[in-house]
Every structure is written in C-alpha cells, then in structure tokens.
C-alpha cells in the first residue's frame, strides 16, 4: 500500500496527516476543492482540485493515479451553520461521500479511513465516552457523520469495503516544525480564538457559560494534538485488513475553557482579555474520550498528554503563520 488519496488534504487535520504519511514513506495524492482548504498547506506535489459533488473530478483523480486507499477528511464542519443550512451539509457530506465511494468501488479501491467525530454521540449519558455509547447526534453536522458511519457498515457487508472511522474529540495544535497549523475562516474554535485575543487580533475571548456543573463552571473538552490524530490515521490505514469499525481519538483528559486560557497565558507570557457570555446552544458540559479501544486496536498512543504542550505548538504557529 503506497499511494494514498487524501480527500480534503488541504484542510487542518488532512494537511497534518499528509505531512505525517509522507514522513513515513507513503505517496500522498491530495484532492481538495479549496473552499475551506489552503493550497499552501499541501505538502505534496500531487495536488488535484476536485469536489465531492463533481463526480467527473473524482473519476479524473482515480483514473490518473493508482490509488491503494483513501483517507477522507473532506466535509463541512461548522455545527452552527449545519443547523441553519442542513441541506448544504447533507448534500456535501453525505451525498459527497456516496460519490467518493462510487468512484472508489468502480476503481476497485476498497480501503477508507474516515474523519468522524464525538458529535455523533450527542448529549452524553456517561463519561468518559466509549464507542459503545449510544449515538444520537443533536445537530445536522453530527447526523451527517453518523449517517456516513452507517453507510460504511452497509458497504462493508455488501461490497467488502474496509473502513475505519475515527471519532475525534477536539483537534488542536500545529505541526512541531511550525510549517502548518490551524487556519479556519471563519474561526470558531476555542484555542485559536484565545491566541488571537492574546495577540490583540480580537478584542477578547467570549467564554460561553461559567455556570456549568464542572470544577470551575466552564465546559470541559478533550483536546487532542493534530499530529496525534495524524499518526492514528497512518496506523488505521495499516490495520484495515484486520479491523473495520469505529474508534475514539482523544487523550482521555478533560480540560476546561478557563484552564485553556490559563495555559495560553503561561505559554505566551501575556494576558488574555475575556468576557463571560451565556451558554452556547448545544454545548454539553463535559466531553472526554475513553481511548482504550484505539490504543488496543491501533497500538496508538497520543504523544501530547499535556494541554500546555499542545498550546505551545499552536502559539508557535499563530505568531509565525503563513496562511
Ligand atoms: N468556547 C468558548 N468561546 C468561544 C469558543 C468556544 O467559550 O469563543 C467553548 C465552547 O463553549 C466549548 C469549548 O470552548 O465548551 C470548545 O469549543 P470549540 O468550538 O473549540 O469546540 P467544540 O467542542 O464545540 O467542537 C468540537 C469540534 C466540532 C465537533 C464538536 C463535537 O470542533 O467539529 O467538537 O462536540 F462537532
């Protein structure tokens, strides 16, 4: 297995995975429509502009390269927008993935590693979240990822598709060498927003709620370094013959919004201006992963177990960012 098609390889997690796979000797082909992705983040010369909803563009990629397996990141990922514009999300994420699977199967490509999310669980019934937790997504974004997981199960049975869907918790950080990092437009994620407030690019960080039932009243999340996500994708590619299914990717450590801000202040040596706002709709108080299954199945171990180290890579990117 040598040639890996990375759909959405110009995006945040995709670009870090391309970098990692190339370092491990894989030949990556990146396909991306560049709607949210950045050409500058693509660290392989094999780049094809393609769109999940343009079947001809997908066919072109599979005709041109001898693809062995696909890693599929391409999706719209804004939870709030998915509530406002569900059609956009179901169309791009679900129909787009069906188109990708069609192109794969007509070209006899049967291996896929997929970006899923802890948002497929919906409101947590217990903590930490393991893979057996019932899935009841509470927004269209989570629904699309959940539907795609179900499609994989059916395609596995019917067509012999070999799939692993990785359910990420909160992806964070940037590459150790500072070459690539997080760059969303618009940016909605906590850590980059905190760092921008520290830099003075934003007035302040708005903390969405400090009346949760948590130690400091702010929400707790499980921040997992993007390079640890990347290594899990490589290990998943290598496991596809032996295992098909769903794996959580998180550190298993809950960190609160205020703890993130404190760590960012420590790393940067500067104060972060903040204001308290009311709760954001749809935010559970606490979300963190049980990650034993990923560790066992993949032999994976996150390298970044301290959120301060994660933020240090994000800060290094933020002050030297190239895109
Ligand atoms: N937060 C703030 N202020 C902000 C932004 C975020 O207080 O300006 C808080 C949120 O309320 C939340 C935490 O910071 O408690 C993290 O928020 P993010 O928006 O960074 O991340 P989410 O946990 O909401 O979202 C992540 C992924 C989504 C995925 C979701 C699943 O980014 O793709 O987890 O719950 F759908």
Domains of the chain in start order, with CATH, are 3-169+224-249 (3.40.50.720)
3-state SS assignment for residue 27? strand
- Gap from CA of 170 to ligand 1 centroid (Å): 8
User: d(Cα 151, Cα 235) in Å, to the nearest integer?
Assistant: 22
Q: Is 206 close to ligand 1, i.e. is its CB under 6 Å away?
A: yes
pLDDT tens digit sequence for 24-81: 999 999 999 999 999 999 999 999 999 999 999 999 999 999 999 999 999 999 999 9
**Residue 170: pLDDT band with limits 50, 70, 90:** very high
Nearest to 256 by CA among 304, 302, 223, 290: 223
The alpha carbon of 148 and the centre of ligand 1 are apart by a number of angstroms equal to 22
What is the chain's mean pLDDT, rounded? 98
279 CA closest ligand 1 atom index = 11
Counting residues of the chain whose pLDDT is more than 90, the rounded percentage is 99
pLDDT of residue 1: 74
Number of other CB atoms surrounding residue 273 within 10 Å: 13
Query: Residue with the nearest Cα to atom 20 of ligand 1?
Result: 189
CA of 39 to the centre of ligand 1 (A): 26
Q: What backbone torsions phi and psi does residue 31 show, to the nearest 5 degrees?
A: -120, 130
Q: Which pLDDT does position 126 carry in this prediction?
A: 98
DSSP SS3 for 255 = strand
Question: Of 121, 141, 212, 288, which one is the catalytic site residue?
Answer: 141
The answer, yes or no, to whether any atom of ligand 1 lies below 6 A from the CB of 123, is no
What per-residue confidence (pLDDT) applies to 55? Answer: 98
- Cβ of 79 below 6 Å from ligand 1: yes
Please tell me the predicted confidence (pLDDT) of residue 198: 98
- Distance, CA of 112 to CA of 70 (rounded, Å): 5
Question: Which residue, judged by its Cα, is nearest atom 21 of ligand 1?
Answer: 189
CA of 51 to the centre of ligand 1 (A): 27
Percent of the chain with pLDDT over 70: 100
Instruction: For residue range 179-210, list pLDDT tens digits in order.
Output: 999 999 999 999 999 999 999 999 999 999 99
Buried b (16+ CB within 10 A) or exposed e, 60-73: bbbeebebbbbbbb
In the chain, DSSP assigns E strands to 3-7, 27-32, 47-49, 69-72, 111-117, 162-168, 170-172, 205-208, 220-221, 223-225, 245-249, 255-256, 274-277
Quote the pTM value: 0.98
Residue 156 confidence (pLDDT):
98
Dist. CA 163 → ligand 1 center (Å): 27
d(CA 37, CA 11): 4
**Is 12 tagged catalytic?**
no
pLDDT digits (tens, 9 = 90+) for 248-295: 999 999 999 999 999 999 999 999 999 999 999 999 999 999 999 999
Ligand 1 binding pocket mutation candidate from 221, 248, 288 (most atoms within 8 A of CB): 221
The burial class, CB within 10 Å (0-12 / 13-18 / 19+), for 120 is buried
Nearest atom within ligand 1 for CA of residue 205: 8
């Amino acid at each position: 297995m040598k040639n890996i098609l990375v759909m959405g390889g110009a995006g945040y997690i995709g670009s870090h995975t391309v970098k990692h796979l190339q370092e491990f000797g894989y030949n990556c082909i990146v396909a991306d429509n560049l709607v949210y992705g950045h050409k500058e983040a693509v660290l392989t010369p094999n780049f094809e502009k393609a769109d999940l909803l343009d079947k001809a563009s997908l066919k072109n990629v599979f005709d041109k390269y001898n693809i062995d397996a696909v890693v599929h990141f391409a999706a719209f990922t804004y939870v709030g927008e998915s509530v406002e514009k569900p059609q956009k999300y179901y169309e791009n994420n679900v129909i787009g993935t069906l188109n990708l699977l069609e192109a794969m199967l007509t070209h006899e490509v049967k291996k896929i590693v997929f970006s899923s999310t802890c948002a497929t669980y919906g409101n947590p019934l217990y903590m930490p979240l393991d893979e057996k937790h019932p899935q009841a997504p509470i927004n269209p974004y989570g629904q699309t990822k959940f539907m795609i997981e179900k499609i994989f199960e059916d395609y596995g049975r019917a067509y012999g598709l070999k799939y692993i869907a990785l359910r990420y918790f909160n992806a964070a950080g940037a590459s150790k060498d500072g070459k690539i990092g997080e760059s969303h437009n618009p940016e909605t994620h906590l850590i980059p927003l905190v760092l921008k407030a520290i830099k003075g690019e934003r007035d302040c960080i708005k903390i969405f709620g400090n009346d949760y039932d948590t130690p400091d009243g702010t929400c707790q999340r499980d921040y997992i370094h993007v390079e640890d996500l990347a290594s899990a994708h490589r290990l998943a590619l290598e496991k596809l013959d032996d295992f098909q299914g769903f794996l959580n990717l998180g550190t298993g450590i809950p960190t609160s919004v205020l703890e993130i801000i404190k760590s960012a202040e420590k790393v940067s040596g500067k104060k972060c201006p903040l204001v308290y706002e009311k709760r954001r709709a749809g935010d559970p108080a606490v979300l963190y992963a049980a990650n034993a299954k990923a560790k066992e199945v993949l032999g994976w171990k996150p390298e970044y177990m301290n959120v301060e180290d994660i933020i240090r890579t994000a800060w290094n990117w933020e002050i030297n960012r190239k895109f």
